[in-house]
Amino acid sequence: METSRDRENGIQRKPLKEEILEILHDRVIAGKYPPGEWLRQEEIASQLGVSMTPVREALDLLVSSGLAERVPYRGVRIIQPTADEIIDAYGLRLLLEPTAARLAAERADAKQVDSLRHILQRMQPLATLSDMSNQQQLNRKFHQSIITASNNALLDKIYPLVLNAFPDWLLYEAMFRHPELLGSSLKTEFQEHKDILTAIENHELDLAAQYSAVHIINRSREIETFLGIPSDLLEQTEKRFTHHLPAHHEHQIKY
């Protein structure tokens, strides 16, 4: 919370609601708020020593981010996506993101490419469990920035709905239960992001689309392992939504 001394010293702090949002987000990623958990305003306000108003505003932001849902007359709870919802979101990401990466390779301007590069630089040193919340937020920002760099206003508008339905936060939460996989997982994810960015920078349209599909498909292996989604359903979805990519794409699924 910003104080008069902070203002005198030229220090700008985040609004209290955003600080609370970060705390709640950290707890979700760390598994302290499991899927289906109800978030009580009074309890959170008491724990943090703040009033109800910024907590209510932070919960609204958590809902808009896709991590929680507001149930009429009940309150706010962490979402608990069904297998069908996860598969639907996965399929739409396979459809939209390679398309956006291709368009970004064709249309992105220098400022947009610099923004992607800066996000990637911020992600590179994040390698510990305490970094997971920041890593997840930057990961989302990287993907959203590729959509924005496609310079397609309609795609930019509808993509957040798809991203919010995809339970990437559950995959990050799984890292807390399997810390032995953390290093290799983040290293692979960073390399995949780097490949996508390089293709966009070099205006390689087909490669940008392929690397984007590779990245999402590799996340499906984590969906299978950590969320228990049957592999045959994931593979059916992949075939349904990647038929528009160049034929040799299938040979680049694994790194």
DSSP state of 70: E
CA–CA dist 110, 140 (Å, integer):
21
| CA–CA distances in Å: residue 15 to residues 67, 140, 243 | 20, 21, 46
Architecture of the CATH domain 83-252: Up-down Bundle (1.20)
Predicted local confidence at residue 246, as pLDDT:
64
**Residue spans in the chain of domains classed CATH 1.20.120.530:** 83-252
Residues in the chain predicted with pLDDT less than 70, given as ranges, are 1-12, 246-255
CA–CA dist 134, 72 (Å, integer):
31
**Residue spans in the chain of domains classed CATH 1.10.10.10:** 4-78
CB 113 within 8 A of CB 149: yes
DSSP state of 10: T
Predicted local confidence at residue 12, as pLDDT:
59
Q: Quick: pLDDT tens for 57-84.
A: 999 999 988 889 999 999 999 988 888 9
Predicted local confidence at residue 172, as pLDDT:
82
Predicted local confidence at residue 247, as pLDDT:
56
- The highest-level CATH class for domain 4-78 is mainly alpha
What the block records as the tokens of 146 is 């590729």
Half-sphere exposure of 69 (CA within 13 A, CB side): 9
DSSP H helices in 150-244: 153-165, 168-177, 182-201, 205-227, 231-241
CA–CA dist 90, 226 (Å, integer):
15
